[in-house]
Every structure is written in structure tokens, then in C-alpha cells.
């Protein structure tokens, strides 16, 4: 492969991902065509197929990118809390933040989830990506609660599932009634109580 092509490939891929997110949010995953994504990105179908084999693979690449960005952002926010100020309330304050552009991602991922529910193969593939995200969240929960002197009394993966359900269910209601339920409001109200119910204070010196 020519050296110039190798250097351009990451830029091409990034442009296609940005274009796909915008197109999926505007038209929906099912209605968006590969041609529309290419037109938005300014590339040909050949450029698309040199990076992705299908529209489903393109979505999953978006999913992984978004997941990695979310985990990095949350980790940076929580790591910035001084050790002597790390409480459940401070943790909740950080993880309940909802960025303005989260609405577009919510629209895209919700529609793809419905697609996956109807398509067993898509469901299986999405479940693998979901599992990797939950594993990262479970590790983060265990680590940062430990820093706060707390230990989980439930399975970390199960708790990650519950917190994702709370997040996604809360956002669904917030985007329908933003004036009555601002994004993140349900988590701020109930997450401290949930974490109090599923943790216990670690004995001093318990590593």
C-alpha cells in the first residue's frame, strides 16, 4: 500500500465515523444509506468499503469509539478528585454529567438496539461490545469505590447493567420532557441510595 494511503486512512476513517453519527442521528440508522454517509464525509463508496464491510460494522466502530471516550472522560473526572475528598456524593456528581451532544448518540444507539432485538446476529454482536463496555465500567466502579473506602456487596457486572439501565431509561424520559426532568436528574437523585445499598465500608488497611 502506498505510504500516502496509509497516512490518509485514519483521517478517512475518522471522517466517515463523524459523518455516520450525524447521518444516523438525523435520518435514523435504518433509513441512512452508505451513499449518504459517503456524501457527508466527502469520500467514495470505495473509501467506505476499504474501512468498513457494512453499515452495521460502521455503527459498532462508533459504539466502541464512544465507549472509549466515555470511559476516558469519567476516569479523568474521578481521578481528579483528591483522595481525602472522594465520597459517593462526589463520584455521583461526576458520573451523572450529561454532555450536550449525548442526545445524538442516544438516538443512534437506541435505534440500533431495536434493530438488534429484531436481528439475532446483530444482537449477538452488539452483546459482545456491550460486555466489553460493562467490564470497563465494572473495573472503574470497583477501583473508585475502593478508593473511597467501600467494597461492593453485589456482582460488579450486574451493578454496571443496572447503572446503564438507569442512565438510558432516565435519558429517554429526559429527552421527552426536558423541562420536567433534566438529563442526569434521576441518577443524581437515586444513585447515592443505590450505591449505599450495594456497598459496605472496608476494614482499615484492607487492600
Cα–Cα distances in Å, from 95 out to 47, 82, 103? 37, 16, 16
Per-residue pLDDT of the chain (207 residues; tens, 9 = 90+): 444 455 678 899 999 999 999 999 999 999 999 999 999 999 999 999 999 999 999 999 999 999 999 889 888 888 888 888 888 888 888 888 888 889 999 999 999 999 999 999 999 999 999 999 999 999 999 998 998 899 999 999 999 999 999 999 999 999 999 999 999 999 999 999 999 999 999 776 665
d(CA 82, CA 76): 12
Task: Indicate the class that CATH gives domain 55-201.
Answer: mainly alpha
Q: Which of 172, 110, 164, 169 is nearest to 141 (CA)?
A: 164
Q: Which CATH architecture has domain 1-52?
A: Orthogonal Bundle (1.10)
Rounded to whole angstroms, the Cα distance separating 8 from 173 reads 41
Domain boundaries along the sequence of the chain? 1-52, 55-201
C-alpha closest to that of 18 among 62, 67, 71: 62
Beta-ladder partners of 200: 151
Amino acid at each position: 500500500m502506498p505510504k500516502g494511503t496509509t497516512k490518509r486512512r485514519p483521517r478517512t476513517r475518522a471522517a466517515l465515523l463523524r459523518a455516520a453519527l450525524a447521518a444516523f442521528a438525523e435520518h435514523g440508522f435504518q433509513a441512512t444509506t452508505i451513499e449518504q454517509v459517503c456524501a457527508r464525509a466527502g469520500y467514495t463508496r470505495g473509501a467506505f468499503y476499504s474501512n468498513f464491510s457494512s453499515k452495521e460494522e460502521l455503527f459498532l466502530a462508533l459504539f466502541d469509539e464512544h465507549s472509549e471516550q466515555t470511559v476516558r472522560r469519567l476516569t479523568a473526572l474521578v481521578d481528579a478528585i483528591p483522595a481525602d475528598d472522594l465520597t459517593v456524593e462526589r463520584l455521583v456528581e461526576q458520573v451523572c454529567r450529561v454532555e450536550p451532544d449525548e442526545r445524538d448518540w442516544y438516538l443512534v444507539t437506541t435505534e440500533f438496539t431495536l434493530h438488534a432485538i429484531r436481528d439475532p446476529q446483530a444482537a449477538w454482536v452488539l452483546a459482545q461490545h456491550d460486555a466489553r463496555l460493562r467490564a470497563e465500567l465494572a473495573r472503574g466502579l470497583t477501583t473508585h469505590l475502593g478508593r473511597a473506602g467501600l467494597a461492593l456487596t453485589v456482582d460488579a457486572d450486574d451493578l454496571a447493567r443496572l447503572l446503564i439501565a438507569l442512565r438510558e431509561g432516565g435519558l429517554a424520559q429526559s429527552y421527552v420532557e426536558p423541562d420536567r426532568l433534566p438529563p442526569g436528574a434521576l441518577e443524581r437523585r437515586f444513585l447515592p441510595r443505590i450505591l449505599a445499598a450495594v456497598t459496605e465500608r472496608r476494614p482499615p488497611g484492607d487492600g
